[in-house]
């Protein structure tokens, strides 16, 4: 007896060694040779050893050759199946287990329930629950949490709540964790009312309880609610702070995200990678270079290791703040680059108009053994579009489908439309849209519209604008687009008609805003803004600038105004676009010799673009403007986009 034991043990040792040296097949063969293929201990170990290799078929094979399955063997197989994402097979083996009357134990259910959750099968979830009750399995706190978690992941909040309420109120079973899972489930289902109710009723709360609730408010976009609980939270941890920071950023309040981060540092809470990524992404959104640099300094001073996540966030911050060379420096220093890292770098080159570098980066990525995905291709197509390389772009588009089997998304189609459109090949763009296998969406028609607008093809622009209106009748952009077409041709009656319709439907024009960072402060402007403390000085500077530019040949282009107003007023309306106000403010407050960086949430209008060129020459300063599409580097009267955007 003793000898058999030892032999089995030495087999188990062999199996452990299999992870490095011996092949599993060889072990299995030996198992047979020594007649241990029916030893459940050895078989259980062998099945478990298959899992990390993904040798799941082999694990099933071993399982089938075992004649007298017991819970141990079943459990290890179900576990292995779950780990290899074979959820339905895991479930069917559980059914098999029941069929053979093998009683499941405490290690069976966690993985079966998780499989049901991953399969997103609501009915299966409930029947597993009944099965547990039927066989009289004890519903201890472990099983309850597993069940609760499964219901939450199946979006079956009702069943989760029912199970929760019938749980005896002893602290041991209704643990903090159980409450937290429940609160989190309510938050996932956007049922904040119940979440708060549960939270208030909890006998004890830990940080995760608070954070879960705060996160619930963040997810529904209620930052005041989130702030309320955040302020009341007695001991905020990193997660609490990060939730707020990324919450502000997700809800488009990047300035507050930065403020919250600074506050966090003042409170002496040490940021982790999640925090750094969130705050860097907030910087990237508004092009807050100084803030971003300070975070980079923090990273260096505190010896934070650059890894895939924070490194990628740094690259994106620099790229979107106009410092593509700094982005490249971080990129070169990074040891472990992921797919996202490469994509961010490619898109970075693309939006700065560095087509060759984007191509090189794309090739280098493939050499590094990373397979490009749809996002990487989108970057490379953007690069082609921005530099007018139509044939190259089409070549990449075909490569994506034929060599990489990536089904193009609507974004890719929109990019190709853009590619044709910018090159002035409008007919081809339209034909491309008509031949698309998927229904063209708002972005696709929008790309065509912009191209028509730039090429002054009013007929096709009207067609595109009508499609936009059909697709998004409540989107303000659709009306603006259409009205812009009419405005350009002087059809003021039609412009008025569109405006009335907009008013009837109570559609508000989404405001264009611009950000400019001065020193360490971010200033925000909307068109016609008078909220800034320096408003008077800004406007007089702008007037001076416009006058000087006019003397140099600048002609205000009033075609960009949508309303039918007197010529002079029109000049006013384009004259106070947010990017112009930001520019004037920058000229006053940013020391000479430093770049002026402006970020705009929409596309820059042609008039502003023209004025920026004059301003860069007259002030002998570099102006870096980022709009929703790309970067414009203005230097000595010329823009890096070569007026092609």
Give the residues lining the site for DNA (CB under 7 A): 40-41, 44-45, 48, 70-72, 75-76, 79, 105-107, 109-110, 114, 140-143, 145-146, 149, 175, 177, 180-181, 184, 206-209, 211-212, 215, 237-239, 242-243, 246-247, 272, 274-275, 278
Q: By C-beta, is 118 or 537 nearer to DNA?
A: 118
d(CA 522, CA 257): 12
Under 8 Å between Cβ of 91 and 119: yes
Taking residue 456's Cβ as centre, other Cβ atoms within 10 Å add up to 10
Q: By C-beta, is 79 or 621 nearer to DNA?
A: 79
- Copy the structure tokens of residue 13: 């040792």
**Nearest approach, Cβ of 47 to DNA (angstroms)?**
8
Q: By C-beta, is 115 or 382 nearer to DNA?
A: 115
- Copy the structure tokens of residue 284: 């990237």
- Copy the structure tokens of residue 183: 């609160």
Q: By C-beta, is 243 or 483 nearer to DNA?
A: 243
d(CA 261, CA 251): 16
Q: Which residues sit opposite 633 in a β-bridge?
A: 624
**Nearest approach, Cβ of 44 to DNA (angstroms)?**
4
**Nearest approach, Cβ of 177 to DNA (angstroms)?**
4
Q: By C-beta, is 153 or 541 nearer to DNA?
A: 153
d(CA 139, CA 167): 9
Q: Which residues sit opposite 625 in a β-bridge?
A: 598, 632
d(CA 50, CA 62): 10
Q: By C-beta, is 275 or 457 nearer to DNA?
A: 275
Query: How buried is 329 (Cβ within 10 angstroms: 0-12 exposed, 13-18 middle, 19+ buried)?
Result: middle
**Nearest approach, Cβ of 347 to DNA (angstroms)?**
23
**Nearest approach, Cβ of 42 to DNA (angstroms)?**
8
Strand order across the beta sheet in which 513-518 lies:
521-526, 513-518, 596-600, 623-626, 631-635, 638-639
**Nearest approach, Cβ of 74 to DNA (angstroms)?**
8
Q: DSSP character for 269?
A: P
Q: By C-beta, is 74 or 354 nearer to DNA?
A: 74
Distances (CA, A) of 553 to 516, 547, 548: 27, 10, 9
**Nearest approach, Cβ of 303 to DNA (angstroms)?**
19
- Copy the structure tokens of residue 128: 């597993």
Which phi and psi (to 5°) does residue 204 adopt?
-135, 145
Q: By C-beta, is 4 or 628 nearer to DNA?
A: 4
Q: By C-beta, is 150 or 485 nearer to DNA?
A: 150
**Nearest approach, Cβ of 337 to DNA (angstroms)?**
22
- Copy the structure tokens of residue 17: 């060694």
Under 8 Å between Cβ of 641 and 634: no
Q: By C-beta, is 45 or 467 nearer to DNA?
A: 45
**Nearest approach, Cβ of 300 to DNA (angstroms)?**
21
b/e per residue, 289-316, with b = 16+ CB within 10 A? bbbbbbbbeebeeeebebebbbbbbbbb
**Nearest approach, Cβ of 416 to DNA (angstroms)?**
35
Helix, strand, or coil here: 520? coil
Q: By C-beta, is 210 or 479 nearer to DNA?
A: 210
Helix, strand, or coil here: 479? helix
d(CA 491, CA 564): 9
Q: By C-beta, is 34 or 72 nearer to DNA?
A: 72
**Nearest approach, Cβ of 83 to DNA (angstroms)?**
8
End-to-end CA distance of the chain: 82
Q: By C-beta, is 178 or 495 nearer to DNA?
A: 178
**Nearest approach, Cβ of 72 to DNA (angstroms)?**
4
Closest residue by Cα to residue 581 from 518, 529, 637, 546:
529
Query: How buried is 64 (Cβ within 10 angstroms: 0-12 exposed, 13-18 middle, 19+ buried)?
Result: exposed
Q: Which residues sit opposite 599 in a β-bridge?
A: 515, 626
Q: How far is C-alpha 290 from the chain's CA centre?
A: 23
- Copy the structure tokens of residue 453: 């607008």
**Nearest approach, Cβ of 253 to DNA (angstroms)?**
14
């Amino acid at each position: 007896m003793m000898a058999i034991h030892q032999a089995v043990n030495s087999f188990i040792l062999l199996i452990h060694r299999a992870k490095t040296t011996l092949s599993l097949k060889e072990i299995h063969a030996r198992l047979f040779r020594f007649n241990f293929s029916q030893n459940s201990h050895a078989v259980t170990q062998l099945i478990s050893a298959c899992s990390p290799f993904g040798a799941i078929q082999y694990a099933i094979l071993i399982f089938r050759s075992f004649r007298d399955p017991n819970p141990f063997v079943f459990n290890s197989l179900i576990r292995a199946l779950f780990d290899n994402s074979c959820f339905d097979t895991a479930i069917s083996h559980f059914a098999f287990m029941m069929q053979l009357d093998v009683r499941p134990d405490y290690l069976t259910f966690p993985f079966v329930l998780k499989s049901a959750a991953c399969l997103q099968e609501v009915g299966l979830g409930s029947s597993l629950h009944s099965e547990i009750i039927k066989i009289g399995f004890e519903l201890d706190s472990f099983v309850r949490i597993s069940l609760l978690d499964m219901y939450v992941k199946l979006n079956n909040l009702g069943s989760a709540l029912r199970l929760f309420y019938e749980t005896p109120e002893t602290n041991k079973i209704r643990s903090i964790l159980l409450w937290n899972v429940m609160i989190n489930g309510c938050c996932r289902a956007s049922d904040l009312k119940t979440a708060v109710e549960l939270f208030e009723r909890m006998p004890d709360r830990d940080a995760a309880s608070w954070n879960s609730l705060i996160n619930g408010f963040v997810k529904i976009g209620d930052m005041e609610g989130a702030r309320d609980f955040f302020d009341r939270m007695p001991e905020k941890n990193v997660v609490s702070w990060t939730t707020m920071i990324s919450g502000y950023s997700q809800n488009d309040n990047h300035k507050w995200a930065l403020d919250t981060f600074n506050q966090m540092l003042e409170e002496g809470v040490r940021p982790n990678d999640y925090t750094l990524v969130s705050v860097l992404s907030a910087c990237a959104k508004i092009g807050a270079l100084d803030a971003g640099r300070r975070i980079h300094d923090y990273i260096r001073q505190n010896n934070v290791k650059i890894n895939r996540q924070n490194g990628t966030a740094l690259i994106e911050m620099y790229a979107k703040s106009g410092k593509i060379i700094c982005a490249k420096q971080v990129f070169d220093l990074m040891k472990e680059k992921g797919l996202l890292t490469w994509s961010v770098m490619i898109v970075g080159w693309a939006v700065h108009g560095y087509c060759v570098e984007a191509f090189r980066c794309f090739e280098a990525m493939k050499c590094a053994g990373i397979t490009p995905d749809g996002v990487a291709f989108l970057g490379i197509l953007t690069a082609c579009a921005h530099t007018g390389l139509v044939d190259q772009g089409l070549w990449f588009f075909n490569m994506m489908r034929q060599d990489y089997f990536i089904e193009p998304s609507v974004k890719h189609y929109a990019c190709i439309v853009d590619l044709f459109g910018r090159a002035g090949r409008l007919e081809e763009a339209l034909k491309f849209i008509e031949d698309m296998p998927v229904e063209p969406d708002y972005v696709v028609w929008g790309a065509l519209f912009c191209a028509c607008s730039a090429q002054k093809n009013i007929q096709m622009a009207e067609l595109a604008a009508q499609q936009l209106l059909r697709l998004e009748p409540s989107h303000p952009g659709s009306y603006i687009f259409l009205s812009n077409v009419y405005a350009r041709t002087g059809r003021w009656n039609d412009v008025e008609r569109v405006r009335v319709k907009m008013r009837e439907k109570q559609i508000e024009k989404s405001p264009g805003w611009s950000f400019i960072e001065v020193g360490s402060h971010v200033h925000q402007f909307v068109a016609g803004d008078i909220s800034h403390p320096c408003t008077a000085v800004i406007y007089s500077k702008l007037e001076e600038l416009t006058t000087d530019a006019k003397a140099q040949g600048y002609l205000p282009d009033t075609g960009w105004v949508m309303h039918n107003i007197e010529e002079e007023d029109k000049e006013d309306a384009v004259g106070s676009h947010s990017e112009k106000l930001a520019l004037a403010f920058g000229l006053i407050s940013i020391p000479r010799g430093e770049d002026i960086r402006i970020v705009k949430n929409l596309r820059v209008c042609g008039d502003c673009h023209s004025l920026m060129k004059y301003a860069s020459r007259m002030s002998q300063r570099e102006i870096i403007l980022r709009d929703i599409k790309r970067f414009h580097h203005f230097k000595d009267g010329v823009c890096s986009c070569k007026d092609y955007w």
